[in-house]
C-alpha cells in the first residue's frame, strides 16, 4: 500500500492555488467593502496576478491528475480574458439591475477556477469536479436577478439540464472505468491500445455518452435546448461570460479527453462529431433568423459558433486543434464585445433587448453603432475582422485533413448567418430611429469595448501572432 | 459477475426489517378485521376542540427554512469526510491533518460568510 | 444465486420506486416514496461491499437531503401544485428515447470485458473494511480532488444564500 507522507510537488498548480487563495480573500474582504466597484477592481487584479503565474507554470502534479501544458495555459488565457472583459462590462450593469452584490464577482472567480481545473484535468474525476465547480457557480449567476422570474427560470433550467448532462458524463466514466480499471486519461489510452479493446462496443458507448455530456456544455445541437432560454433569462453580463468561458472549457475537455484517452479512435468519434457539427451549424444559423430578441439571437449564434469550432476538433491533429483554440480566443473578444453593446442599451426602465431597439442607432449613437458593426462583421466572418481569420484557419485545417465538403457546408452556413447579423447593421444604419434610445456608459465598460474592438481588428489585420501561439501551445500536447 | 459478494452479516438487519414490516402491516390488518365499523359524516370532520374548523390545515413555510436546511446539508457533507479521515489518521499522520485543515479552512470561510450575511439569524 | 436474487430485487425496486417518485401528483407522497428508494439504494451499496457509502446514503440522503426536499415541498402551495398543469406532454417521446438508449446500452454491454481490478479486491476491502480503504485512497492518491470538493461546497453555501436570502446586504 502506498502511503504518501510528504508534501506533493505543487509548483505546476501555482496559478490555481493563487486563484483559490485570492478568491477566498476577496470573498472575505467583500464583507467589509461598501463600494462594489472596488471588489470588481480586485477581481481584475486577481485575474492579472493569476495570468502572471500562468506564464511560469508547466508540468504535472498528483501523479498525472493535473496537467499544466501549453494547451491548458492557452485555454486559461481565454478564461482569464473573458473573466476580465465580463467583469468590466458588469460593473455598471448590475447596478442598473439593482443586484450590486460582491458575491457576483466571487462567483465569477470560482467559475473561472473551475474552468481552469477542467482545462488542466488529467483524470476524469478531476475533470468532473472542475466542471461542477464551474457549473454550480454559473447556475447561481444565471439566477442572480432574484426578483426576475425569467432569471429564476434560466437558473432552474440550466441547473436541471446541467445535472442531466453530468449524469451522462458519470455514466460514460463508469463505463470506461469498468473496462480499463482507471480514470486517468493517459492510462485509459494506454490500456485501450495495449489490450485491443479499443473497438469494443462498450468503449463506443462511453464515447457517445461523453459526446452527449460535453455537447450540453458547448451547446451543440441536439443538446442545445437550454441555451436560448438561459441566455435570454440570465443577466446579460452573465450571458456574455457564459457564452465564452464555459464554452471554451467544454472544448478544452472535449479535446483533452478525445485526443488523449480516445486518441486511437479518432476515425470513430469524428464520425459521430461530423453530423453533430452540421446539425449544430444548421440549428444555430437557421433558428437565429427568426429571433426578435437580441439575446436569443446571440444564443443561437453561439450555438452556431460551437458548430464551427467543432470542425477544428474533427480535423484533429496539431493544426485542427490549434485552429479551434484560435477560434475560441477570437470568439471571446467578438462575442463579449457584442454583448457589451447590448448591455449599453439597458438603462433604468428600458430593457433594450429587442432587435427593433437598434433601429437608427447610427443616427443617435454613431460610436456604439460602429462598434456593433465591427462585432457583427466579425461574427459573420467578414474581413478584415478577426472572425474571418478564425474561420479561415478552421476551414483550412478541415481542407488539409480531407474534409473539404465539411468546410464547404460551414461556408454555406456562414453565408446564411450573414442574414441575421447584417440585419442588425441594416437596422442601425438604414432605418430611422423610432424612439429616443439612451445609452448607459461607464469608463470600465468603455475600456472593455475598446479592448475587444482593438483585439478584433488587430487580429484581423495581423493574424499570425495568435495562430502561432496556438500552434506552439498544441505542440507539447 | 466474477465474485458475487453476499454480506451475510447483514442478515439480522434484514430479518429485523421484515419483522418491522410484518408488525406494521399486522397491526393495521388486525384493526381492520376486529374493530367495529360504524362510519358517519361527522367522524370525518377535523377535530378542533369542538369548534368548527377554520382555514386550511396546510400553510406555506418560510423560505428561511430552506437556507437553514441547505446549510445543514452542506456542513453534513463536510462532516461525512471526517469519518474515513479519522479512521486512517493514525496511518497517514501529520499529512492527513494538514490536508483536512485546508479542507476545513475553505469551509470556515464559507461559515464566516454565512455568519456575516446573517444567514443564521431568523428575522 | 442468492446474491443475484438480492440484486434483481433491489434493482427492480429502485426502478419502480423511481418511476413512482416522478409520477405521484402529491409531492409529499413522492417524498415518502423517495425515502424508501434511498433505503434500497443503501442496500445496493451494502451488496457491493461499500458499507461506508451505504451509511452515507442513509445519513446524508435519507436524513439531510430528504428533509431539505420536504422543506422545499412545504414552501410550495400544495393545493395549487396538485392541480397545476404538468409539462410532461411529450413523455412518450422521452420513453422512446430512453428505450433506444437502453437497447444501445444492453447491446454494447454484451461485449463488455471488465478491466484489471487493482489492489483493492473484494477480499482486501472486506478484511480492511470499506471506510478504512476509502480513507487510505481518498487522503493520499485522491487528495487533489478532495480539496476541490471543499470549493464546490463553498460555492453551494454562497449560492444558497445569494438565491434565497431575503435581504442580501452587508
Torsion C47-C52-C58-C60 (CA) sign: negative
SS3 C169: coil
Mean pLDDT taken over chain A: 92
What is the per-residue pLDDT for B60? 72
A427 lies within 8 A of chain C by CB: no
Question: Which residues is C104 bridged to in the sheet?
Answer: none
| Dihedral sign from CA coordinates of B17, B18, B22, B23 | negative
Give mean pLDDT, residues B58-87.
87
What is the pLDDT at residue A3? 52
Residue A334 clears pLDDT 90, i.e. is over it: yes
Range of the domain at B96: 10-116
CA distances from A420 to A36, A298, A426, C10, C129 (A): 37, 10, 10, 54, 63
> Closest-CA residue in chain A for C153?
A133
The reply to whether residue A4 touches residue B93, judged by beta carbons under 8 angstroms, is no
- Structure confidence at residue A1 (pLDDT): 43
Residues A17-39: tens digit of each pLDDT: 999 999 999 999 999 988 899 99
Q: Which residue has the higher pLDDT, C85 or A192?
A: A192
Q: Which residues contact C158 (CB under 8 A, 6 or more apart)?
A: A27, A103, A106, A107, A110, A140, B110, B113
pLDDT at residue B114 tops 50? yes
Residue C19 lies in domain? 2-84+120-164
- Chain B residues with CB under 8 Å of C134 CB are 84
Q: Residue B58: its pLDDT value, please?
A: 67
Residue C129 lies in a domain: yes
Segment among A63-72, A83-92, A347-356 with least mean pLDDT:
A347-356
Is B123 a member of any domain? no
What was the pLDDT predicted at B20?
95
Give residue A11's pLDDT: 85
Smallest Cα–Cα separation from C7: which of C35, C48, C38, C39?
A: C48
pLDDT at C146: 94
For residue C115, being part of any structural domain is answered with no
**A196 versus A254: which is more confidently predicted?**
A254
Q: Where are the alpha helices (DSSP H) in C1-142?
A: 2-23, 27-47, 51-56, 66-75, 78-83, 91-109, 122-128, 130-138
Instruction: Mention every residue, 6+ apart, whose C-beta is less than 8 A from residue A431.
Output: A359, A360
Within 14-53 of A, beta carbons closer than 8 Å to C belong to 20, 24, 27, 31-34
What pLDDT score does C127 carry?
A: 84
- Note the pLDDT of residue B4: 54
C170 contacts in A (CB within 8 Å)? 31-34, 102
pLDDT of residue A316: 84
Which has more pLDDT, B56 or B38?
B38
The subunits that touch chain A, with at least 3 C-beta pairs less than 8 Å apart, are B, C
Element (H, E) at B96: helix B94-116
Is A5 part of a structural domain of the chain? no
**Is a pLDDT exceeding 80 seen at residue A217?**
yes
The domain tally of chain A equals 1
Domains held by chain B: number: 1
Mean pLDDT over A388-403 rounds to 94
pLDDT of residue A153: 94
Percent of chain A with pLDDT over 70: 98
**Percentage of residues in chain A with pLDDT exceeding 90?**
76
Residue C154 lies in a domain: yes
Q: Is the pLDDT of residue B3 over 50?
A: no
The whole-angstrom distance between C87's CA and the closest CA on chain B is 23
From A3, A7, A24, residue closest to B109, measured CB to CB: A24
Q: How far is B95 from chain A (nearest CA, A)?
A: 6
Stretch A305-333: mean pLDDT: 93
SS3 state at C124: helix
* Predicted pLDDT at C63: 87
Contacts of A1 in chain C (CB under 8 A): 119, 136
Domain annotation covers residue C147 = yes
Point out the least confidently predicted range of A53-57, A73-77, A154-158, A470-474: A53-57
Task: Evaluate whether residue C99 is within a structural domain.
Answer: no
Evaluate if residue A362 carries a pLDDT over 50: yes
Task: Write the pLDDT tens digit of every residue in A406-449.
Answer: 999 999 999 999 999 999 999 999 988 887 788 888 999 999 99
pLDDT at A5: 56
pLDDT at res. A67: 92
Domain hosting residue A388, numbered range: 11-475
Report, as an integer, the average pLDDT of A255-271.
Answer: 90
Domain tally, chain C: 1
Name the more confident of A297 and B45. Answer: A297
Instruction: Look at residue B7 in the predicted model and tell me its pLDDT.
Output: 75
Q: What is the mean pLDDT of each run of 10 residues along chain C (170 residues)?
A: 87 95 86 94 90 91 88 78 73 88 89 83 83 89 93 95 78
Say which of C108, C152, C158 has its CB closest to residue A201. Answer: C108
Predicted confidence band at B2 (pLDDT cuts at 50, 70, 90)?
A: very low
CATH code for the domain in which residue B58 is found = 1.20.58.1610
Residue that the C-alpha cell 475587444 belongs to: A452
Question: Has residue C44 been placed in a domain?
Answer: yes
Q: Do C141 and A204 touch (CB under 8 A)?
A: no
Is residue C61 situated within a structural domain? yes
State the complex-level ipTM: 0.93
> Domain for residue C142, yes or no?
yes
Q: List the CATH number of the domain containing C69.
A: 1.20.120.1200
Amino acid at each position: 500500500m502506498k502511503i504518501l507522507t510528504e508534501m506533493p510537488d505543487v509548483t505546476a498548480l501555482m496559478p490555481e492555488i493563487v486563484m483559490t487563495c485570492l478568491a477566498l480573500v476577496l470573498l472575505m474582504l467583500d464583507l467589509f467593502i461598501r463600494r462594489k466597484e472596488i471588489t470588481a477592481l480586485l477581481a481584475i487584479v486577481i485575474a492579472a496576478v493569476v495570468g502572471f503565474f500562468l506564464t511560469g507554470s508547466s508540468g504535472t502534479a498528483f501523479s498525472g491528475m493535473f496537467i499544466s501544458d501549453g494547451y491548458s495555459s492557452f485555454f486559461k488565457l481565454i478564461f482569464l480574458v473573458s473573466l476580465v472583459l465580463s467583469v468590466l462590462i458588469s460593473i455598471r450593469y448590475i447596478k442598473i439591475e439593482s443586484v450590486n452584490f460582491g458575491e457576483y464577482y466571487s462567483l465569477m472567480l470560482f467559475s473561472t477556477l473551475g474552468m481552469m481545473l477542467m482545462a488542466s484535468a488529467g483524470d476524469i474525476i478531476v475533470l468532473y469536479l472542475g466542471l461542477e465547480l464551474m457549473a454550480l457557480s454559473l447556475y447561481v449567476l444565471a439566477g442572480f436577478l432574484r426578483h426576475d422570474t425569467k432569471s429564476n427560470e434560466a437558473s432552474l433550467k440550466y441547473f436541471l439540464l446541467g445535472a442531466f448532462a453530468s449524469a451522462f458524463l458519470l455514466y460514460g466514466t463508469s463505463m470506461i472505468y469498468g473496462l480499463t480499471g482507471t480514470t486517468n486519461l493517459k492510462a485509459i489510452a494506454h490500456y485501450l491500445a495495449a489490450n485491443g479493446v479499443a473497438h469494443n462496443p462498450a468503449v463506443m458507448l462511453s464515447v457517445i455518452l461523453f459526446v452527449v455530456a460535453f455537447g450540453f456544455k458547448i451547446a451543440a445541437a441536439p443538446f442545445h435546448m437550454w441555451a436560448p432560454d438561459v441566455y435570454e433569462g440570465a443577466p446579460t453580463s452573465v450571458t456574455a461570460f457564459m457564452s465564452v468561458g464555459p464554452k471554451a472549457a467544454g472544448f478544452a475537455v472535449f479535446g483533452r479527453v478525445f485526443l488523449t484517452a480516445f486518441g486511437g479512435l479518432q476515425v470513430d468519434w469524428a464520425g459521430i462529431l461530423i453530423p453533430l457539427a452540421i446539425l449544430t451549424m444548421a440549428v444555430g444559423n437557421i433558428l437565429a433568423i427568426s429571433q426578435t430578441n437580441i439575446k436569443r439571437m446571440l444564443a443561437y449564434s453561439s450555438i452556431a459558433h460551437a458548430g464551427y469550432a467543432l470542425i477544428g476538433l474533427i480535423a484533429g491533429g496539431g493544426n485542427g486543434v490549434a485552429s479551434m483554440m484560435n477560434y475560441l480566443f477570437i470568439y471571446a473578444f467578438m462575442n463579449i464585445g457584442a454583448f457589451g453593446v447590448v448591455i449599453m442599451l439597458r438603462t433604468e426602465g428600458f430593457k433594450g433587448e429587442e432587435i427593433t431597439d437598434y433601429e437608427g442607432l447610427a443616427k443617435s449613437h454613431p460610436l456604439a453603432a460602429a462598434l456593433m458593426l465591427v462585432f457583427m462583421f466579425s461574427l459573420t466572418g467578414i474581413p478584415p475582422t478577426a472572425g474571418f481569420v478564425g474561420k479561415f484557419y478552421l476551414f483550412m485545417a478541415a481542407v488539409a485533413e480531407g474534409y473539404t465538403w465539411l468546410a464547404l457546408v460551414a461556408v454555406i452556413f456562414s453565408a446564411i448567418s450573414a442574414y441575421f447579423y447584417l440585419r442588425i447593421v441594416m437596422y442601425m444604419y438604414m432605418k430611422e430611429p423610432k424612439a429616443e434610445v439612451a445609452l448607459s456608459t461607464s469608463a470600465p465598460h468603455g475600456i472593455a469595448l475598446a479592448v475587444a474592438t482593438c483585439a478584433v481588428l488587430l487580429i484581423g489585420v495581423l493574424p499570425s501572432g495568435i495562430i502561432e501561439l496556438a500552434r506552439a501551445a498544441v505542440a507539447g500536447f | 459477475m466474477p465474485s458475487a459478494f453476499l454480506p451475510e452479516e447483514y442478515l439480522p438487519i434484514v430479518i429485523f426489517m421484515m419483522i418491522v414490516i410484518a408488525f406494521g402491516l399486522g397491526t393495521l390488518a388486525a384493526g381492520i378485521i376486529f374493530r367495529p365499523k360504524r362510519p358517519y359524516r361527522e367522524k370525518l370532520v377535523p377535530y378542533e376542540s369542538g369548534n368548527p374548523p377554520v382555514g386550511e390545515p396546510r400553510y406555506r413555510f418560510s423560505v428561511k427554512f430552506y437556507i437553514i436546511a441547505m446549510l445543514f446539508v452542506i456542513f453534513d457533507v463536510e462532516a461525512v469526510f471526517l469519518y474515513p479521515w479519522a479512521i486512517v489518521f493514525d496511518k497517514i499522520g501529520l499529512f492527513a491533518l494538514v490536508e483536512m485543515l485546508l479542507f476545513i479552512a475553505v469551509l470556515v470561510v464559507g461559515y464566516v460568510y454565512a455568519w456575516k450575511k446573517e444567514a443564521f439569524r431568523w428575522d | 444465486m442468492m446474491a443475484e436474487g438480492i440484486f434483481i430485487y433491489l434493482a427492480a425496486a429502485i426502478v419502480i420506486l423511481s418511476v413512482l417518485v416522478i409520477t405521484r401528483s402529491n409531492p409529499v407522497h413522492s417524498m415518502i416514496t423517495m425515502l424508501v428508494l434511498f433505503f434500497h439504494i443503501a442496500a445496493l451499496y451494502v451488496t457491493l461491499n461499500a458499507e461506508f457509502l451505504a451509511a452515507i446514503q442513509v445519513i446524508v440522503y435519507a436524513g439531510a437531503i430528504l428533509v431539505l426536499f420536504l422543506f422545499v415541498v412545504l414552501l410550495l402551495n400544495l393545493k395549487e401544485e396538485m392541480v397545476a398543469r404538468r409539462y410532461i406532454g411529450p413523455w412518450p417521446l422521452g420513453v422512446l428515447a430512453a428505450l433506444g438508449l437502453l437497447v444501445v446500452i444492453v447491446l454494447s454491454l454484451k461485449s463488455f470485458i471488465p478491466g484489471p481490478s487493482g489492489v483493492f479486491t473484494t477480499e482486501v476491502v472486506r478484511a480492511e473494511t470499506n471506510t478504512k480503504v476509502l480513507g487510505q485512497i481518498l487522503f493520499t492518491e485522491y487528495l487533489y480532488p478532495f480539496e476541490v470538493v471543499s470549493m464546490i461546497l463553498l460555492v453551494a453555501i454562497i449560492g444558497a444564500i445569494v438565491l434565497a436570502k431575503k435581504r442580501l446586504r452587508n
